[in-house]
Structure 1
Amino acid sequence: MTAPTLTARTDPRFSLARQVADAVLFEGYVLYPYRASAAKNQLRWQFGVLVPPAWGAGRAEHTYQRTECLMEPRRDATLSLELRFLHAQRRTVQRLGSDGEFETAESLDADDRVYVPWDEGVEESVELSVPVAELTGDGVTVPFTRPAHQETESVRADGRIAGRLLRRRERLDGALRLSADEIDGPYAALRLTAVVQNTGDWPSDGGEAERDDALLRSLVSAHLLLGLSDGSFVSMADPPEWAKGAAAHCRNEHTWPVLAGEGDRADVMLSSPIILEDHPRIAPESLGTLYDATEIDEILALRTAALTDQEKREARGTDDRAGAVIDLADTMPPEVLERLHGAVRALREVTEPAGEPDTPWWDPAGDPSVDPAHDRVLVDGREVGAGSRVRLRPGSRRTDAQDLFLHGRTAMVEAVLHDVDGLVHLAVTVDGDPGADLRREQGRFLYFQPDEVTPLEDA
């Protein structure tokens, strides 16, 4: 078997997918207000962390990722792969003392920033290219190592050396295992399996080390980019009819593969520890990485610009990437900020429903086919509507803990409502509720679906 080719350049087909992959790589890297001292920056890197096996035993952390997806390669097709992850790097701050010696410090003032101890993330990747034909049978295994590393950076203040930063990376070892097998079906399709594993040792005297120490020997935010030179991947979220059975039997652990090629092409896949939809995209209005995809860019930019000067100095000293966010927020022109307020992605023709003129589409009065006060719905073979009494039995899909206190209570149905998705909801007031009259007056009810109630009496 020919050894897989380790590539020195990045596959150009990954350029669009890499924009989303970068967001995955740095999701949660440093959060607003971008200072190391902030509570939300004390527990970092929650996605795609692969710890050393000896440390991870008995813990909730993972030591590997497993991706399985379906592909339809043509003859002589080649699979390109890029494993990307962060290698944690511990930064220690030292101040220059009056005796000319360096001593460890909790902070160090520089001209425009305040340095503090911090774990930085160094981008790493393993790139390879292998003929698909060589993946069948035993497949291929590619071990990789990132050696330990140390470096020193001088810090100046007012033109003089005020201290230094010590950076240390631990050795990191891993393995990438690739294999493919044929699936039953009408087409020549293969199931691709890609396993990324941390194979590093853990020092015997490591003892009960904290997670922060284990992260130094971990693959952080690990994810895969997969590309076919000739052929296509099958959507795992919406497979064609012939592939649904095989897709359902694919085993994806701690990661999920989605189509990520240009346009609607299916020759690139991104396997991410964060669940995405097929063909994910970065909003074109977003001008920079804010490292917090759960926030709205407009709000985050405004709040960042409103930080005090001292807070901005601390953010710049926390990490260069945090400093870039500060600079972005400070220099964003008003017209660019305005673009973040909202965008119309698509337009469709809406036909005005028959009903009272000038009535909003969501108002029941706008649709003469429904009447909340008189509509009835069958529950256990009996008609239920306004005035019916029922017993509440919230279903398992409920996520509000308050519903547990309502289980078994009796209630009065006030209206039968239909939503835009075609679902039926019963608006109820609970028997014995001293605020029931106020709820009726304001139209603020509790809502349950028909399978969550039991009729107590005929209408």
Structure 2
Amino acid sequence: MSATGFAPETEARLAVARKVADAVLFEGYVLYPYRASAAKNRLRWQFGVLVPPGWGAECAEHSFQHTECLLEPKAGAALAVELRFLRARRRTVQQAVAGGGFETVPELRLADRVLVPWDEGVEERVTAVVPVADLVAGDVTVDIDRPAATDHETVLDADGRTAGRTVHRYEPLTGRLRLTAAELDGPYRVLRLTAVAENTSDWTPPAGHAADRDAALPRSLVAAHLLLAVDRGSFLSMTDPPQWAKGAVAACRNLHTWPVLAAEPGRTDVVLSSPIILEDHPAIAPESPGALYDATEIDEILALRTAALTDEEKREARGTDERAAAVIDLADSLPPEVLERLHGAVRGLREATRPHNGPGFPDEHGVPRPDTPWWDPAADAGFDPGHDSVLLDGRPVRAGSRLVLRPGARRTDAQDLFLHGTGATAEAVLHDVDGVVHVAVTVDGDPGADLRREQGRFLYFQPDELAWPQDDGG
């Protein structure tokens, strides 16, 4: 058995999924410029924070995640479950004083770093292996109980003398993971697997004090996500299920999390349910040299900006967190050939759609015509985005048309998914060089709509991603 209690073959399959799960676990853990004093590092951990229920009722955050997915088990199948999260460990800094003892200080300056108070994230795992038959028979509950604790670590100066210490305080943390499965009617044996991770802490803010996220975080499950693996059987994709299972997938309830297939492409025995929307079989880019924790910028820019920090900024970053220190060291040590790989990568190629006998393309005898450009700018004269139209259900869509957004699953990103069912106004109808039609829209209620029109910066959808409003008289 492995350290997690899983069989070696199960551990090997989960190890692949954990590479992506680690990116989820530490998404936004510490943001560039990696210093505690940076404004954007003062409000931390935006994803998958399961707060105490008594506090969550007063805020926009949640105390639970509810996952449902479909499982096709074989006889004797067992389910391996791993709930992963960060537990906030509050760090204070103390300086050694003459005659012995320590006093709390706002910072401790050392030759290579500046230590400051900070909430560190300590990885926690809750694991279980449950026969699928037990899940069908009734709920299986795994309790989470982490008591309060305090520890400290001595800090030495460059000469090896005690300069101070860091004191780490854990608050009590309780929760549970509830698992169950129900057999569905249909042509094949399929189970709807339900997993609910929840914070059960009875903590509430002290009487007379306003709700305080900073006080709630040490009692929260931070960046919580779930890994599921079946040893005999397979999971169905929740994003692209087979036709016969689409109704059952649509009936599943997923709250504050979303499950995707997380094994290598071609395998369907591992699921990752995370608070960040992913596609099936997600993977870390092979060019990425290490964790940068800040997915709001691409690795190349982030690495270059980090390497360009001043020595004093790097000292503070190194003292902020061990992971921040590792990022600084990584950026300082990247060789040119690694940075070159970050500049861009081609994941796939396709042949562009080309009109017969168009400029720059072969003539009727297959002979290229290099004397003309591949695209004729004069062709634009036949288009007028402000007045052109495209048919949708037999009616013309043109600038000013009132629409409803229905993003298509085959090409939708997370931002589009959030707009599903939202009203919009068509601003222009455009044709690209491949002959594909796109409708530029502004979204109802967008306070920046006028600015978008001014700058010509719109959202774009293809006609089959649009619908007419139901109350439209047409």
TM range, smaller chain? 0.7 to 0.9
Separation in 1, partners of 2:388, 2:166: 72
Q: Evaluate the alpha carbon distance shift between residue 364 and residue 208 of structure 1 in structure 2; reply closer, same or farther with a 3 A threshold.
A: same
Larger CA deviation: 271-280 vs 344-353: 344-353
Larger CA deviation: 206-215 vs 10-19: 206-215
1:193 and 2:201 aligned: no
CA displacement, residues 300-356 of structure 1 (integer Å, 9 cap, x when unaligned): 000000000000000000000000000000000001110100112223344653311
CA displacement, residues 377-418 of structure 1 (integer Å, 9 cap, x when unaligned): 477999999xxxx8835546599xxxxxx989xx9x9xx642
- The residue that corresponds to 1:225 in the other structure is 227
Q: Evaluate the alpha carbon distance shift between residue 75 and residue 154 of structure 1 in structure 2; reply closer, same or farther with a 3 A threshold.
A: same
Q: Secondary structure at the match of 1:20?
A: helix
Q: Evaluate the alpha carbon distance shift between residue 241 and residue 28 of structure 1 in structure 2; reply closer, same or farther with a 3 A threshold.
A: same
- The residue that corresponds to 1:180 in the other structure is 181
Separation in 2, partners of 1:335, 1:373: 46
1:418 and 2:431 aligned: yes
- The residue that corresponds to 2:292 in the other structure is 290
- The residue that corresponds to 1:7 in the other structure is 5
Separation in 2, partners of 1:262, 1:151: 40
State the Cα distance separating 1:294 from its structure 2 match: 2.3
Of residues 278, 281, 285 in structure 1, which corresponds to 2:280? 278
- The residue that corresponds to 1:75 in the other structure is 75
- The residue that corresponds to 2:111 in the other structure is 111
Of residues 382, 403, 415 in structure 2, which corresponds to 1:371? 382
Matches within 5 A, 1:425-436: 425=439
Separation in 1, partners of 2:395, 2:202: 67
Contact 2:83–2:224, Cα closer than 8 Å, also in 1:
yes
State the Cα distance separating 1:52 from its structure 2 match: 1.0
Contact 1:50–1:222, Cα closer than 8 Å, also in 2:
yes
Count residues in correspondence.
417
- The residue that corresponds to 1:93 in the other structure is 93
Separation in 2, partners of 1:298, 1:120: 26
Q: Which amino acid aligns with 1:218?
A: S
Q: Which amino acid aligns with 2:24?
A: V
Which blocks of at least 5 consecutive residues in structure 2 are unaligned?
361-369, 407-414, 416-423, 442-452, 469-474
Separation in 1, partners of 2:377, 2:243: 39
Q: Secondary structure at the match of 2:124?
A: strand
Q: Secondary structure at the match of 1:85?
A: strand
Q: Evaluate the alpha carbon distance shift between residue 208 and residue 266 of structure 1 in structure 2; reply closer, same or farther with a 3 A threshold.
A: same
1:148 and 2:111 aligned: no
Q: Which amino acid aligns with 1:170?
A: E
Of residues 400, 418, 422 in structure 2, which corresponds to 1:392? 400
Contact 1:393–1:452, Cα closer than 8 Å, also in 2:
no
Of residues 328, 337, 340 in structure 2, which corresponds to 1:338? 340
Q: Secondary structure at the match of 1:68?
A: strand
Q: Evaluate the alpha carbon distance shift between residue 380 and residue 142 of structure 1 in structure 2; reply closer, same or farther with a 3 A threshold.
A: closer
Q: Which amino acid aligns with 1:78?
A: A
- The residue that corresponds to 2:164 in the other structure is 163
Which blocks of at least 5 consecutive residues in structure 1 are unaligned?
1-5, 400-405, 428-438, 454-459
Q: Evaluate the alpha carbon distance shift between residue 187 and residue 329 of structure 1 in structure 2; reply closer, same or farther with a 3 A threshold.
A: same
Q: Which amino acid aligns with 1:371?
A: G
CA displacement, residues 101-129 of structure 1 (integer Å, 9 cap, x when unaligned): 42211110122000000000000001110
Q: Secondary structure at the match of 1:136?
A: helix
Contact 1:109–1:157, Cα closer than 8 Å, also in 2:
no
Separation in 2, partners of 1:391, 1:230: 54
Q: Which amino acid aligns with 1:130?
A: V
- The residue that corresponds to 2:216 in the other structure is 214
- The residue that corresponds to 1:130 in the other structure is 130
Q: Which has the larger radius of gyration?
A: 1
State the Cα distance separating 1:158 from its structure 2 match: 3.3
Q: Which amino acid aligns with 1:392?
A: G
Q: Evaluate the alpha carbon distance shift between residue 372 and residue 96 of structure 1 in structure 2; reply closer, same or farther with a 3 A threshold.
A: same
State the Cα distance separating 1:371 from its structure 2 match: 3.4
Separation in 1, partners of 2:124, 2:200: 16
TM-score using structure 1 length: 0.82
- The residue that corresponds to 1:310 in the other structure is 312
- The residue that corresponds to 2:251 in the other structure is 249
Contact 2:392–2:467, Cα closer than 8 Å, also in 1:
no
State the Cα distance separating 1:145 from its structure 2 match: 0.9
Q: Which amino acid aligns with 1:337?
A: L
Q: Evaluate the alpha carbon distance shift between residue 384 and residue 222 of structure 1 in structure 2; reply closer, same or farther with a 3 A threshold.
A: closer
Q: Evaluate the alpha carbon distance shift between residue 74 and residue 90 of structure 1 in structure 2; reply closer, same or farther with a 3 A threshold.
A: same
Q: Evaluate the alpha carbon distance shift between residue 8 and residue 108 of structure 1 in structure 2; reply closer, same or farther with a 3 A threshold.
A: farther
Separation in 2, partners of 1:351, 1:147: 63
Contact 2:359–2:376, Cα closer than 8 Å, also in 1:
no
TM-score using structure 2 length: 0.79
Separation in 1, partners of 2:119, 2:126: 22
Contact 2:359–2:375, Cα closer than 8 Å, also in 1:
no
Separation in 2, partners of 1:233, 1:161: 55
CA displacement, residues 256-284 of structure 1 (integer Å, 9 cap, x when unaligned): 00001122200000000000000000000
Q: Which amino acid aligns with 2:77?
A: A
Separation in 2, partners of 1:204, 1:380: 54
State the Cα distance separating 1:54 from its structure 2 match: 1.6
Please, what is the CA RMSD of the aligned residues? Answer: 3.5
Contact 1:25–1:85, Cα closer than 8 Å, also in 2:
yes
Q: Secondary structure at the match of 1:245?
A: helix
Contact 1:110–1:155, Cα closer than 8 Å, also in 2:
no
CA displacement, residues 44-85 of structure 1 (integer Å, 9 cap, x when unaligned): 001110011122222211000000000100011000010000
Fraction of identical pairs, as percent: 61
- The residue that corresponds to 2:301 in the other structure is 299
Q: Secondary structure at the match of 2:54?
A: helix
Separation in 2, partners of 1:383, 1:55: 51
